[in-house]
Amino acid sequence: MSSNWKKRQESDPYVKRAREAGYRARAAFKLMELDEKDRLFRPGQRVVDLGAAPGSWSQVARQRIGEAGVIIALDILPMEPLEGVTFIEGDFREDEPLEKLEAALDGAKVDLVLSDMAPNISGIGPADQARSIYLAELALAFAGDWLDISGTLVVKVFQGEGFEALLSQVREAFRAVKVRKPRASRPESREVYLVARGLKS
């Protein structure tokens, strides 16, 4: 399995492009594609990147919102520092990371919540799918608490058991929801991204 993964990485054009451009992961190109379609970024935004490590989405966000913007990245895993990005290590469901987030935002709401979170794959399909849905639900709940009413949520989720129910939840919470499959997503992957705008009060 490890050998197959290495071969796939070596032959993946997005991996090569990421290395050449200095991005920490090929996932950067997924976010760039989403931005091209849905115009996610604008100068001066306040952005929160959930499950940010190793940091490629924060890199893209930093480039696109300019120096006046604020980016706060959260992850339970450590992440190498990125210039212009505030990193909070910890579980955002717990008090200490949330207190740090609140201090970093200084009482302001967030314009854009990004979540490229994915579970550690166990190989047990139903369990992995359930964890994927759970992480997406966490991102949705986070957005409900922190997102400005005019803000946007971008969240990764895997199609399968529970996907339609999650999509219904997101549609109940937001005025406009689109399902996107970037070209940079591997064709065999069941991952899609929900782009949700206009938080309902």
- The catalytic site residues sit at 156
Give the whole-angstrom CA distance, residue 165 versus residue 171: 10
3-state helix, strand, coil in the chain (%, to 5): 40, 25, 35
Return the SS3 of 178: strand
Give the whole-angstrom CA distance, residue 24 versus residue 53: 9
Q: What is the strand order of the sheet 110-115 is part of? A: 85-89, 70-75, 46-50, 110-115, 147-158, 191-199, 174-180
